[in-house]
Structure 1
């Protein structure tokens, strides 16, 4: 997705905890994404507030995923992930389903 030509039609960003890794990944993209450091709850909230969708593609979700989900719920931002951690999915549905509706 990150290197496909059609991605030029959309504004997007890379976000994460490590700015050096983010910059390296951004350098491999055909388009120039924004880079957002989101290491603290406040930064996660700001990230979720400035976008429509968060695609979470790095785990472990059971350790760092809940803060991302909560930031998305608090900001009415769509959330998608690639987790295979069934316990994480269950816990997030239990914790946030009603608020996210």
Structure 2
């Protein structure tokens, strides 16, 4: 007999670190929220806070972002005899100054 166990639909994570300084504050806090199967087609919504460093000497700030996705929605049907599937995997990273 095969038993299927559903994954939880929502996940939340929090993080705390003391990598700040006297200008930004010693403590930094972060949060991440994931909603699986957002619209009932096996899609995922992932929302996260992004790290931002204030650079007072140059009057600007620096943002660091990163994300990873691994999606396999399988076959979505056919159009004009051509099978359509949605899957992919990748990393994205960004820096904004």
Q: TM-score, normalised by structure 2?
A: 0.24
Structure holding more strand per residue: 2
In our comparison, the structure showing a higher alpha carbon Rg is 2
Structure having the larger proportion of residues in helix: 1
Q: Work out which structure has the larger RCO, using CA pairs closer than 8 Å and 6 or more positions apart in sequence.
A: 1
